[in-house]
Amino acid sequence: MTSIADILAEHKDKEGPLLPILHDVQKAFGHVSEDAMREIAQTLNLTRAEVYGVVSFYHDFRKEAEARPVLKLCRAEACKARGVEALMPIADTQSRVKVEAIYCLGLCAVGPSAMAGDKVYARLDDAKFKSLLEAM
């Protein structure tokens, strides 16, 4: 199992290591805890406020673990124009998957789009969206 120390050792001598470290910590543990932020700050010779500021600024970073699987559903303009709002009642009536808003996945022409983990989904309609939620 990966530890924060392993992740820090992998990145600490690279240029601009903070974001890659935060991404790897989040990928390994599902969130960036206060303890992790403290350890990262100490290793990179940053203040805890600097690390906390970056974690807080980017909505992709979580400070607490999410028990449910997370689906990021694009709510930006092109996906709105292609019908994402019609999917919201489906998202709102289930609680097994946490559906979060994201603003543009770069799949505007084939929206509505969503992302779960590293995988993206396009051309979502009611049936595809329901089956995606059930599969998660």
- Residue number, 34 or 77, with CB nearest to ligand FES: 77
Site string for ligand FES, 62-101 (x = CB under 6 A): ------------x-xxxx----------------------
Contact predicate 71/133, CB 8 Å: yes
Count of residues interacting with ligand FES (CB under 6 A): 12
The tokens of 31 are what? 């969130």
Distance set, CA 66 to CA 46, 47, 53 (Å): 27, 26, 20
What phi and psi values does residue 86 have, to the nearest 5 degrees?
A: -70, -20
- Which listed residue (91, 107, 124, 133) binds ligand FES by CB under 6 A? 107
DSSP-assigned letter for residue 87 = G
Q: Please report whether residue 120 would count as binding ligand FES according to CB under 6 A.
A: no
Q: Which residues bind ligand FES (CB under 6 A)?
A: 74, 76-79, 104-108, 111, 113
